[in-house]
Amino acid sequence: MEDLEFIKERVTFYLQHETDQHFLDLARDLQTNADGSLLRDLFGSSIKFGTGGLRGVMQPGFNSINPLTIHLATQGLGLYARSLYKRPLTAIISYDTRLYSKEFAIITAKTLATMGIHVKIFMDPTPVPILSFSIRQEEADFGVMITASHNPKEYNGYKVYWGSGEQVTAPHDAGIEQSIAQVEPSDVITEKEAQSRDLWTWLDETLFLQYHDAIFNLELIKFLYPTAKSSISSTICYSPLHGSGHRPVVHMLESAGFTVFVPSEQSEPDGNFPTVKTPNPEDSENLEIAIDLAHKQGASLVLATDPDADRLGVAVKHDDQFIILTGNQIGALMLYFIAEMRKKAGLPYDRSLFVNTVVTSPLQNKIAQFYHISDTRVLTGFKFIAEVIATCEKEKNREYIFGCEESYGFLIHTLSRDKDAVSAALLIAFMHEHYAKENTSLITILEHLHASYGYHLDRQINYTLSGSVGTQAIEAMMDHLAREQPKWGDSPIRRVYDYRQQKIFDHTGQAIPLEEPLPHTNLLQFQLEDGTLISARPSGTEPKIKFYTSITALNEEEAEIKMGNLKTQIHLFVAPYL
């Protein structure tokens, strides 16, 4: 527990160096009115460089996202990059539509330019996949995306991408964090000064148009794209949920010949996200406005993306009702379609590779195995899928064809190295059109997959525990699960995969090493005798503990009963810690 006098000194230091009036006013109010516990939470420690970067609530303090912590993080990033490369450096900066995103992007650009690093910054909010593509296309040394993805409006974040276009991973993440700890606030040059030194370039839509052309030049898309756009008959409703996806997604779909309607209530960039609780396409209620418009316009497909357009939500009309698909279902349908189309196009299978995560539905791996497509499972986080792509390119022994994770992230190409809802939306539209022409639907295909591989039901059960007390409770739960496994239902535990120790424990407690070791991470996975999977891990970006559940059954009714029992058991375990 930090001494209160030290905390007060930290508050004073923050007030001396924060440059934004809004955050200064908030900090002064906290200095006068907040209790010691809140001041300790906000100022007693520094925000951690976690999954790809920083993410937190926008508020004063060193443990939050604000202009000062963005400045310090950027100094650390620039210092680390300069230590690696003894040459002139270039960085590309983008941002979503959140409150303060552009302001934070400009602070990032000014800080890097002050360090002599040439910055290229987008004029308008630009999605994650286009930033990743642009880093590779421009051969930049690294990039920064100001975003908190699908989090509530109070949040923002700072994602760092390396020259390969993928999020930073070990050892660079630790190196950046160490550099951040060494820096002090400093003055920065103005945009005008940076431009006069040839250290500042504004980016227009040119890179997006290059991305657009590259996507339409993919073998799979060329096979699907009809010679005459007039043959496309599908009407689509798409919502950007007030985010950066509006122009790129609509442009892609209309280029292919689709008729697209966008709800006016959700079309404009707005960091307050006024029509949703959180701008997350995973949440079914966030698709309701687009579904209402779809009914009015006669559209049979609804798509939605989050503020940085890396996650995609999908709803499909079936028997006059819209059915909202889960991330696992979307991934399974995309993999099945890609496999079928590659087969039709005569594209090779022998070197094909599919990648998903250890908490994603096993239905996808069953589909891959049926088509003799190699499959690899990685830890949660798309950066690990990107690492596999890099390995494929280096070793030239396998061809990446698709990767996904259960949290609505998909990548159908290697042009970008992070999840890409823009190109995924295009592929889903082509899939919908293809099956409509065959007088079937994505829902019918999903039913076919369940009939072929067993009925799969996957749910995520999350518990939010905020503050330092919450962090301790989450750690205690993970320790409890590792030490003493609870009863998860009627079926006994067959195996426990402990990714903290890189070991597998059988029902007797006997330990063996993991067949394919993955990086150490705070993840425990329980495999029951009936095939049920339960995975538990702390969130890397939010104050949550997450339980990923996957059930295989004969039919939907049996699966729902088993899932209900499992949810009860999980809650009984968590309740004492709440």
Instruction: Report yes or no: 113 and 194 within 8 Å, Cβ to Cβ.
Output: yes
Is the confidence at residue 427, as pLDDT, over 70?
A: yes
Fold of 328-438: Alpha-D-Glucose-1,6-Bisphosphate; Chain A, domain 3 (3.40.120)
The DSSP string of 114-160 is HTT-EEEEESS---HHHHHHHHHHTT-SEEEEE--TTS-TTEEEEEE
Strands (E), 320-386: 321-324, 352-357, 374-378
Give the DSSP per-residue string, 364-409. HHHHHHHTT-EEEEE-SSHHHHHHHHHHHHHH-S-EEEEEEETTTE
pLDDT value for 1: 46
What's the CA gap between 316 and 263, in Å, rounded? Answer: 17
Mapped onto helix, strand or coil, the DSSP state of residue 508 is coil
Banded pLDDT at 231 (limits 50, 70, 90) = confident
pLDDT of residue 435: 96
400: three-class secondary structure by DSSP: strand
Q: Which one, of 273, 290, 201, 233, lies nearest residue 430 by Cα?
A: 233
Band of pLDDT at residue 230, cut at 50, 70 and 90: low
Q: How sure is the predictor about 227, in pLDDT bands with cuts at 50, 70 and 90?
A: low
Q: From the options 2.30.29.30, 3.40.120.10, 3.40.920.10, 3.90.1150.10, give the CATH code of 4-209.
A: 3.40.120.10
Instruction: Work out the average pLDDT over 490-516.
Output: 87
**Do residues 553 and 457 lie in contact, with contact meaning Cβ atoms separated by under 8 Å?**
yes
Q: What is the pLDDT of residue 229?
A: 62
Q: What are phi and psi of 399, to 5 degrees?
A: -115, 115
Q: How many CB atoms lie within 10 A of CB 538?
A: 18
State the chain's mean pLDDT as an integer: 95
Q: Do domains 211-217+229-324 and 328-438 have the same CATH topology?
A: yes
- The closest alpha carbon to 93, from 124, 62, 115, 72, belongs to 124
Q: Which of 64, 132, 134, 149 is catalytic?
A: 149
DSSP string, 406-424: TTTEEE-SSSSBS--HHHH
- Is the model's pLDDT at 510 over the cut of 90? no
d(CA 209, CA 189): 31
Asked whether residue 443 carries a pLDDT value surpassing 90, the answer given is yes
Tokens of 488: 């998860």
Task: Please confirm whether the linkage preceding 152 is cis (ω < 30° from 0).
Answer: no
Query: Is the pLDDT reported for residue 460 higher than 70?
Result: yes
471: region left, alpha or beta (phi > 0 left; psi from -120 to 50 alpha)? alpha
Q: How confident is the model at residue 516 (pLDDT cuts 50, 70, 90)?
A: confident
Does the pLDDT value for residue 337 go beyond 80?
yes
**pLDDT more than 90, % of the chain:** 86
The stretch 177-186 carries a mean pLDDT of: 96
pLDDT of residue 543: 85
Please state the rounded mean pLDDT for residues 171-187: 95
pLDDT digits (tens, 9 = 90+) for 401-424: 999 999 999 999 999 999 999 999
Span 455-577 CATH architecture: 2-Layer Sandwich (3.30)
Lowest mean pLDDT among 94-108, 336-350, 434-448: 336-350
Rounded CA-CA distance 36/112 in Å is 35
> What mean pLDDT do residues 515-535 have?
89
Gap between the Cα atoms of 336 and 222, Å rounded: 18
Q: Which residues of 525-537 are buried (b: 16+ CB within 10 A; e: fewer)?
A: bbbbeeebbbbbb
Q: Cα dihedral angle (205, 211, 217, 222), rounded to 10 degrees?
A: -90
Average pLDDT over residues 132-140: 99
Which segment of 83-92, 248-257, 460-469 scores lowest on mean pLDDT? 460-469
Radius of gyration, CA atoms only, the chain:
24
Cα(first)–Cα(last) distance of the chain, in Å? 22
- Residues 6 or more apart from 16 whose CB is under 8 A from it? none
Mean pLDDT of 115-121: 99
- In this structure, what are the phi and psi dihedrals at residue 360, rounded to the nearest 5 degrees? -90, 155
pLDDT at 515: 75
Residues 370-383 have a mean pLDDT of: 94
Residue 320 phi, psi dihedral angles, 5° rounding: 70, 10
The CATH architecture that domain 211-217+229-324 belongs to is 3-Layer(aba) Sandwich (3.40)
What's the average model confidence in pLDDT over 425-443? Answer: 96
pLDDT at 562 over 90: yes
**Cα–Cα distance, 429 to 531 (Å, whole number):** 33
Kindly tell me if the per-residue pLDDT of 166 is higher than 90: yes
Task: For residues 25-53, give the mean pLDDT.
Answer: 91
Domain coordinates of the chain in residue numbers?
A: 4-209, 211-217+229-324, 328-438, 455-577
Q: Give the phi and the psi of residue 501 in degrees, each rounded to 5.
A: -100, -5
- Ranking 172-181, 279-288, 334-343, 536-545 by mean pLDDT, the lowest is 536-545
d(Cα 378, Cα 514) in Å, to the nearest integer?
13
C-alpha closest to that of 497 among 459, 537, 461: 537
Active-site residue flag, 423: no
Global pTM value: 0.94
Q: 361 near 328, Cβ under 8 Å?
A: yes
Query: Coil, strand or helix: which one is 468?
Result: helix
pLDDT grade for 426, boundaries at 50, 70 and 90: very high
Task: Count other C-beta atoms under 10 Å from residue 227's C-beta.
Answer: 6
pLDDT score of 368 more than 70? yes
**Angle made by CA atoms 133, 99, 128, in degrees to the nearest 5:** 10
Position 2 pLDDT exceeds 70: no
Q: Are 146 and 95 in contact (CB under 8 A)?
A: yes
